[in-house]
Amino acid sequence: MMQSIHDIDFSQLYIRHKQRAARPRSEASTWDQKAQQIAVGHLENSYTQAFLSAMDIGKTDTLLDVGCGAGAIAVLAAAKAKHVYALDYSQGMLDKLQANALHYDTHNISTLCKSWEDSWSDVPICDVVVASRSTLVEDMHMALTKLSAQARRHVYITYPATTAFGTDPAIDPAQNPELVTPSYLYILAILLQQGIQAQLRFIGSNQCSTGRNSDSRWALIDWAV
């Protein structure tokens, strides 16, 4: 019989919830195709500005960007860092990142084609580690542990601030909460059970030309290691 929150294994609860949630796992080939549709030279927006403003990084620091995509954070952060390592499981996205790096005249980025599940034994330990909009993983405990292990000083991640993100609109969250995207509260709970007290902030959504939200609000979670 559970007596308190300390009796809950949030790591296993997240895994079970994610397995039942409506959002399917994305394959690298899917992101390779999406990369072909991304224009070069359009990385600046309110989200990237807010993320970069929240980071504490200096000219002597190295940065690891996990799930870097086309380089929205990696390329723009490179001007503030000594060197950036950009990791993604989509080679198409890494190719687009390199095109963005050339566009922004950035030459201190190395790319690594790896997934969350791959061995990171050859991934450099960096002063700062980020995972921007890339944390809808199957095993959150594994992901958070790997991020902390790669960081000398600090980790910054973002995760959807609403369970509606990636959830089938036909699903009623009140009736079937187990079928919607797991809450960011899992991350705070798992970190707490790892002995880490994290900071929680929120980044507002961007808007497209039609005035509709083109992105959900994001929970920005960071912690010292």
pLDDT tens digit string along 143-202? Answer: 999 999 999 999 999 999 999 998 989 999 889 999 999 999 999 999 999 999 999 999
pLDDT of residue 206: 54
pLDDT of residue 105: 97
Confidence of residue 205 (pLDDT cuts 50, 70, 90): low
Domain of residue 119, CATH code: 3.40.50.150
Find the mean pLDDT for residues 89-107.
Answer: 98
Question: Which of the two residues, 1 and 193, has the higher pLDDT score?
Answer: 193
* Torsion-angle region of 133 (φ positive above 0: left; ψ -120 to 50: alpha; else: beta): left
Residue 157 dihedral angles phi and psi, to the nearest 5°: -135, 160
Instruction: For residues 41 and 51, give the distance between their C-alpha atoms in angstroms, rounded to a whole number.
Output: 18
Find the mean pLDDT for residues 104-115.
Answer: 98
Q: Which residues of 50-79 are buried (b: 16+ CB within 10 A; e: fewer)?
A: bbbeebebeeebbbbbbbbbbbbbbbbbbe
Total tally of structural domains belonging to the chain: 1
Which residue range forms the structural domain that includes residue 118?
5-224
Query: Cβ neighbours of residue 193 under 8 Å, at least 6 residues apart?
Result: 10, 11
